[in-house]
Chain A
Amino acid sequence: MTADVRRPATPMEQQIREHRSLVQRALALGGGWKFILGVVGLGTLIALAAGGFLVVGGYLDGRWYDIRDLGIPTSHLVYWMQAQGLSPAVPYLTTALLGGLGILSLVGGWLVIGSWVERRVIAKFQIRQGPNRVGLFGLLQPVADAVKLMQKEILIPLGADRLLFFLPPILIFLPAMLGWAPVPWAPRMSYVDMNVGVVYVIAISSLGVLAVFLAGWSSNNHYALLGAMRTVAMMVSYEIPISLSLLSVVLLTGSLQLSQIVAWQQQYHVWLIVVLPLAAFTFLFASTAEINRTPNDIGEAESEIVAGFHTEYSGMKAGLFLAVELGNAILVGAMMSTFFLGGYTLFGLELWIPGYLILATKIGAVYFVFVWLRATLPRFRLDQLMGFAWKFLIPLAIIQLLVIAVESMVIAQSGLPGIVTVGGSIAVNLVLTFVGVRAWASGIGYVSEAAASTPLLTNTVGGLRAAERIRVVS
Chain B
Amino acid sequence: MESPGIILAFWIFSAITVAGCLMVLVSRNLLHALVFLVLAFLGMAGLFLTLSADFIAVAQILIYAGSIAVLMVFAIMLTPLAARDNGNSLYVLPALAAGLGIAGIIGFVAVNSPWAQLTGDALKQGDPDTTVSVIGDLLVGRYVLPFEVASILLFFGLLGAIVLVHERRGARESS
Q: Measured between alpha carbons, how far is A196 from B58 in the docked complex, in Å?
A: 8
A196-B54, A202-B62, A206-B66 known; A217-B31 Cβ under 8 A: yes
Per the 8 Å Cβ criterion, residues 157-209 of A in contact with B are 161, 163-164, 167, 194-196, 199-200, 202-204, 206-207, 209
CB of A213 within 8 A of chain B?
yes
Q: Measured between alpha carbons, how far is A5 from B77 in the docked complex, in Å?
A: 62
Does the CB pair B58–A199 fall under 8 Å? yes
Q: Measured between alpha carbons, how far is A163 from B35 in the docked complex, in Å?
A: 10
For B61, B62, B65, B130, which residue has the most chain A Cβ atoms within 10 angstroms?
A: B62
A206-B67, A236-B70 known; A164-B32 Cβ under 8 A: yes
A209-B66, A209-B70 known; A196-B5 Cβ under 8 A: no
Does the CB pair B31–A204 fall under 8 Å? no
Interface size on A, residues (CB 8 A): 27
Does the CB pair B61–A203 fall under 8 Å? yes
Q: Measured between alpha carbons, how far is A218 from B32 in the docked complex, in Å?
A: 10
CB of A232 within 8 A of chain B?
yes
Count A-B contacts at CB 8 Å.
67
A161-B31, A214-B35, A232-B70 known; A207-B61 Cβ under 8 A: yes
Does the CB pair A210–B38 fall under 8 Å? yes
Does the CB pair A88–B3 fall under 8 Å? yes
Nearest neighbor of B74 in chain A, beta-carbon distance: A232
Does the CB pair A210–B69 fall under 8 Å? yes
Majority-rule SS of A interface residues: helix
Does the CB pair B31–A164 fall under 8 Å? yes
CB of B19 within 8 A of chain A?
no
Could you tell me the distance in whole angstroms from the C-beta of A15 to the nearest C-beta in chain B? 50
Could you tell me the distance in whole angstroms from the C-beta of A359 to the nearest C-beta in chain B? 23
A-chain residues with CB within 8 Å of residue B21 when the two chains form the complex: none
Per the 8 Å Cβ criterion, residues 71-116 of B in contact with A are 73-74, 77
Does the CB pair A207–B65 fall under 8 Å? yes
Could you tell me the distance in whole angstroms from the C-beta of A180 to the nearest C-beta in chain B? 16
Interface CB pairs A-B, < 8 A, 28? A89-B3, A92-B5, A161-B29, A161-B31, A163-B32, A194-B54, A196-B132, A199-B55, A200-B58, A202-B62, A203-B58, A203-B59, A203-B62, A203-B65, A206-B62, A206-B70, A207-B61, A209-B66, A210-B66, A210-B69, A210-B70, A213-B73, A214-B35, A217-B73, A217-B77, A232-B70, A232-B73, A232-B74
Q: A residues within 8 Å of B by Cβ?
A: 88-89, 92, 161, 163-164, 167, 194-196, 199-200, 202-204, 206-207, 209-210, 213-214, 217-218, 229, 232, 236, 256
